[in-house]
Every structure is written in structure tokens, then in C-alpha cells.
Amino acid sequence: MTYVEGFLVPVPSANKEAYKKHADDAAPLFREFGATRMVEAWADDVPRGEVNDLWGAVDAAEDETVLFSWIEYPDKATRDAANARIMSDPRMKEVGATMPFDGKRMVWGGFESVCDEGQGAGTGYIDGVVMPMPLDARDAYARFSAACAPAFLENGALRVVDAFADDVRDGKQTDFHRAVHRQDGETAAYGWVEWPDKATRDAGWEKVMADPRMTGQDAPFDGKRMMFGGFVPIVDR
């Protein structure tokens, strides 16, 4: 199953093109280090929440945009080896010398996929989600995801990925645990749905919500603390 390095990034809205160049420059190096895909997606339809949301997860300012991004690896060992190389490769130091965002508020962590259905080729729109998950609910989450995925894929989605926290650490200012308002006995989950475009996503969600397979599903997490939003990929390598 896919191993995911997931990120939430606060970027000044005026720095969109600078951030895209920064990511484009880094992508070939991550691929050289063993990554199979790198995606950076710019906020398009990200609602404000009553309890928490993706804006608050990165302490975004009014003039900033939140990005939902990830790097895929074939397994954790490849990801760990890649991160070791990233820390020592002089080319990565050059790329990171002038970051067009506040790295102190970047949220990141490693996740093991529990569901990976469909193919992401032709992705033009992404629904990203981050949620709290009981530590003992990994199997229940996998069953829930497997039961829901067909409804998305048969109603226009290209790919559905859900992943369970594996290497998610506490940060000094922001992190996934703070973002989901983690309680005792919980961790975080990270996932996304890929669509060909926003119109297909909007129409697809109406059908998904009316799909009888979605009714009666017992979600193994607190939906009131689930954060989600729609994003447009600006880098997909």
C-alpha cells in the first residue's frame, strides 16, 4: 500500500507562482529519491468550520492560502531513506534556501494508506480531508473507507485514498494533532478524493450523498472535528 507524506502549508496568496516554482524545482529530486508522485494543491473551496478547519490548522493569516499537498512512496522504508537524503543533499539545501512560505507553520506527517482505489491520471480537482481517529480504529477505518470508495468511483471520482497516522509528531506551533483537536486515545487520519474537474466533483457529491451505500455507514471518527475542502492542483509530478 502507498505510504504518504502529507502536508498542510500556509502560503501568502501573492506568492502562488513563487511557490509553484519552488515545488517544481523540488519535485524531480523527490522522484530521484524514490517518491512516485508529488502533488501541491491550492485552496479553492475550503470552508471555515465551527470547531476547526484547514485554515486554522496552519494559523493562516487573511492574506494567506492553505495548500493540501502530499508525496507518495511505495513504502515507509523508501520514504525514510528519501528524508535522510533530503537532509544531506546540497541541491535540496539550495531549493530550501528561499522558501516562499512560513515553514514554522507547515503541518506534516507520515501516513500509511488503508484504502487506495482507482487511478489519479487526469486529476484536475481534489477533495482533501484530515480528521481525528481513535488509535484502535485502524481496521474499522479501513472497512469504512472500502465501503465508501465505490460510491465515489462510480459517480465520477478517479481515485480515493485514506491513510492512518504512522509518523505524526508534535510541532512547536502547528501539527496534525493540534489541527484535529486530538483527545486521549486518538491520532490523525489524512485522505483525499481525486476528480477530473470541479464540475464533476460538484455533481458527483450530490450523487454520492444520495447513494444508498453511504447511508447507515458507521463512521469510526468524530465528524464534527473533520476538516475538509476542495483544491486545485498546481503541481502534479
Give me the number of domains the chain comprises.
Answer: 1
Structural domain span for residue 55: 3-236
Give the CATH number, domain containing residue 171. Answer: 3.30.70.100
Rounded Cα distance between 104 and 58, Å, is: 9
Query: What is the per-residue pLDDT across 63-84, written as a single tens digit (0 to 9) for each?
Result: 999 999 999 999 999 999 999 9
Query: What is the per-residue pLDDT across 196-221, written as a single tens digit (0 to 9) for each?
Result: 999 999 999 999 999 988 887 889 99
Q: Would you say 234 and 41 are in contact if contact means Cβ atoms under 8 Å apart? A: yes
* Residue carrying C-alpha cell 509518523: 167
pTM of the model: 0.96
Residue 29 backbone class (left: φ over 0; alpha: ψ -120 to 50; beta: rest): alpha
